[in-house]
Structure 1
């Protein structure tokens, strides 16, 4: 055991632990919730510390040997991340995790220099010219940029698979439905095409939002004024960090604004919510089109991916669409959480930045998994062409074009008198208006009804 102290007192820490007294106190104050920081967030934070050490060495603010040891320790982030023990849901606007990272890097740097733990200082060396308030938010933005790109790749893949199905099913005519009731005919491929276009909008929106999230407040230190950091450091740190992490970031025009206002996170998550809305809709449509399959719609043949029931043999449930819908519901709740937390910041700082960053990243990862699972599922969906044809032939909405010939009320009356039987309704109209059944059926040919404007 080793003894560490701060102005609050002393604690004993196991010799093999690289975290220090601040991390120890944080874990006592904020017990584990089961939440874990996103790995890319941890990586981004280590890259910030590496960039700071690199620049401080260049500018002569830190001993070169200590700076080199810090830089080497930061490059070991994959190993050292297991020593980041602070829970994401901790108080202090992220101070606990910043100190946890500072301590781990400092102690590892001490080892690399063959010195006792404590030789390299967490604050005086690793945290030099930084604050939690500029490092935490900057790490969050870098991590979100990286994760957003991964999510966009999954959206592209899902969109392309749906477009493949659009082409495969384009000639299959079926009944359309409005408010779950029979509507005019539509091509099965047209339904898939509408889903693909919705995802194309999500893809475009998420691509564009990176323009705003790449503006970071690193160098602004505590409240965006750069207090405690020399001017030459403030002016150069963004460029050094950009090269270090290879992510296109830029110095915010107003570091005070970028430190205290979290609206960009709310904006980003609003777009994640919009994606969730579309994924929910697509998944629910798949459930409905595959429902039954023998006693309901049954127009899609859903993949058999697992046993559907522990008591009903042979049952096949739409488990992947339901998984995606559950993910969407979680993201909806995260959106409300992030909006409230972003609004609740006070004056020069948002004290809830750990919650905002954590749940934004969590939503991105959940949606990435949802898109991946749904892609694999849709790839194996088949069309039940016979059921599509049967349902279409029974639909009374096929008579919709006839209102231009006989009038709305006359067609409605024929439907009522025929007890919603399509053939009987056509026969009644034929007899009343002395037009052959064949001529009337030509007017409601499904080949024409699925074309824009008929």
Structure 2
């Protein structure tokens, strides 16, 4: 054991851990979610600390020997080491001070070790004086949240692009599969399955565009703002240098916020970004609902789609297979929508020069990004790419549907079409059969008028049968 102290007193700490006294207090104070910091967020924290150390060395304020050890320590964390030393709970009071100090203490003690010193020798390398030099929790945490969000958003957009491509490919595959379209859950007019799947691809592409637009604003950070946005204890050169170093380490174009006070006290851009995740979740959930409904049955439902069978669907009903992958997408969407509400409430709860609720914003944002990315990949690779169309059944439903009578309006008029629809409903005879029996159109004419192309993308093929003016 080693003894560490702060202005509240002394605490015994196991000598094999790299965190220190303030992290230990946070462990005792915040046993809330049982979840430690997100790994991508830990990486982002280490990036911020490495960038700050490099910037402080460039200004001459940080001795090169100490700064180099700090940078090496932070780079080890970026590479994946020492993750088990980040032990504070995700939800905590203090605007993220415990997160910041957890990083400061781990980096300080590892840097001491690199220099051949013992952990806790803070006279040489201090978590506050050196690792936190020219910084505050109030610029470190917002900056790390944004860096982490940018990284995770890239993964989500990659997943969404792949899913959009999968729906587009299925749209091409199903381009000639004619089926009944539905409005109000009732038969409407025919549509191709390909058109429906192309529409899903377009909806997903809009989600990608929204994310691309909103994530751009997160490249503006308040690093150098320190406590309240005034930049106290941060040299102007340091602010320029730390932004340059952040850009190098992230591979992104990071820049200083136009107004540091605004960027320190307001978090509306996180709410805006969270809103795009919610809208994406809504679109994906609607698509999942459609897939579940079109695959319902197989004998007593719509049975238009055959989804990949992933697992037995019941502990009591033999042979039952459920649409478990779309169901998962629905549930993830519900969670993302709930997360967005938590982010919204936290953004609203800021006062004066700081929003202290950023830990819960980060917790919910990172959760939404992670589970949405995983769900999108699952929907793509375990469902969409393996979907097959039940072409025979789709055709049979077209044959018995009254909805196709709408295509006859230009040829035989509304009144005649209505009478035919009424007769078809009362007798269960197919529309084609009734039309031909009444001598209104021939079977050959109906073949053209009711073809997939003419029904779903009206052209000139049926115009020869239109009544003359």
TM-score (norm 1): 0.95
Give a deviation string over 1:384-435, Cα, whole Å, max 9, x none: 1111101111111111133445554553354334435564666767788x63
- How far 1:2 sits from its partner (Å)? 1.1
The residue that corresponds to 2:84 in the other structure is 82
SS of equivalent to 2:12: strand
The residue that corresponds to 2:396 in the other structure is 390
SS of equivalent to 2:425: coil
Q: Distance in 2 between matches of 1:186 and 1:67?
A: 66
Q: Superposed, which structure 2 residues align to 1:82-231 within 5 Å?
A: 82-119=84-121, 120-231=125-236
The residue that corresponds to 1:411 in the other structure is 417
Q: 2:246 aligns with which of 241, 246, 250?
A: 241
Give a deviation string over 1:47-93, Cα, whole Å, max 9, x none: 11111111212222122221111111111102222101111100111
The residue that corresponds to 1:36 in the other structure is 36
The residue that corresponds to 1:22 in the other structure is 22
Change (3 A) 1:372 1:421: farther
The residue that corresponds to 2:72 in the other structure is 72
Q: Distance in 1 between matches of 2:82 and 2:433?
A: 79
Mapped contact 2:332–2:375 kept (Cα < 8 A): yes
The residue that corresponds to 2:354 in the other structure is 349
Give a deviation string over 1:99-147, Cα, whole Å, max 9, x none: 1110111111111111122331100110010000101000111111111
The residue that corresponds to 2:2 in the other structure is 2
SS of equivalent to 1:79: coil
- How far 1:223 sits from its partner (Å)? 1.2
SS of equivalent to 2:4: strand
Mapped contact 2:222–2:256 kept (Cα < 8 A): yes
Moved more, 405-414 or 266-275: 405-414
Q: Distance in 1 between matches of 2:437 and 2:136?
A: 86
Q: Mind listing any 5+ residue stretches in structure 1 that lack a counterpart?
A: none
Q: Mind listing any 5+ residue stretches in structure 2 that lack a counterpart?
A: 463-469
SS of equivalent to 2:82: helix
Q: Distance in 1 between matches of 2:443 and 2:58?
A: 88
Q: Distance in 2 between matches of 1:97 and 1:131?
A: 12
Q: Distance in 1 between matches of 2:110 and 2:82?
A: 8
Q: Distance in 1 between matches of 2:186 and 2:430?
A: 20
Q: Distance in 1 between matches of 2:397 and 2:196?
A: 16
Change (3 A) 1:207 1:424: closer
SS of equivalent to 1:304: coil
The residue that corresponds to 2:62 in the other structure is 62
| Pairs aligned (count) | 453
- How far 1:289 sits from its partner (Å)? 0.7
Moved more, 402-411 or 131-140: 402-411
SS of equivalent to 1:312: coil
Q: Distance in 2 between matches of 1:427 and 1:65?
A: 91
SS of equivalent to 2:176: coil
Q: Distance in 2 between matches of 1:287 and 1:423?
A: 30
Q: Superposed, which structure 2 residues align to 1:276-295 within 5 Å?
A: 276-295=281-300
Q: Distance in 2 between matches of 1:322 and 1:282?
A: 11
